[in-house]
Amino acid sequence: MAQMIRKQVYIEPMQDTVLKKRSRMLGITEAEVIRRAIDAQIVFMHSGVRDLEAWEREKAFIAERMAGGPVSGGRKFRREDAYEERLSRYGR
């Protein structure tokens, strides 16, 4: 087993309830649930690394489009309709 470093943290009551429930459900210690959550966060953070050159190209494209001013003819939808579509599609 790898060397462990002891940490003491404060969590909210709801987090404690969820932690205990998850621990029982998985049949592992609360500490192991926390370690797995940290590992999942590390993976998530690393997967979020983006191509900075691609982002610079995107920013340049946006700036170019904005410099052109409004599009002739305007948009063909109402903002409210777009929000409704999103709600019906994703439930948020």
> What's the pLDDT tens digit per position in 23-60?
999 999 999 999 999 999 888 777 665 678 888 899 99
Q: What is the pLDDT at residue 45?
A: 76
pLDDT value of position 69: 83
Q: How far apart are CA 30 and CA 54, in angstroms?
A: 41
pTM > 0.85: yes or no: no
Residue 43 · residue 49 · CB < 8 Å: no
Helix, strand, coil percentages (3-state) for the chain, rounded to 5, are: 65, 0, 35
